Amino acid sequence: MLGISDLFRQEIRVINLGVEAFALTLERLGVPVIHVAWSPPAGGDPRKAALLAALTEDEEE
């Protein structure tokens, strides 16, 4: 809960994954935003994507 209250006091700064139009809208409004040129992990191969996900989870802060 504290984290959400913190967010209320910060400037919203966005990382946008997916539909580029959302990032463009925020840019026009002067909101700091960076658009990720996202593409399906491992070229869309679900098995490899699952392997990757398993190896990333290891790193939770």
Backbone CA torsion sign across 53, 54, 57, 59: negative
In this structure, the number of other CB atoms found within 10 A of the CB of residue 13 comes to 10
Least distance CB 23 / another protein (angstroms): 8
Backbone angles phi, psi at 15, to 5 degrees: -105, 125
Report, in Å, the least distance between residue 33 CB and another protein: 8
Interface mask toward another protein for 30-59; x: CB under 8 A: -xxxxxxxxxxxxxxxx-xx-xxxxxxxxx
| Binding region for another protein (CB under 8 A) | 1-5, 7-8, 10-22, 25-26, 29, 31-46, 48-49, 51-61
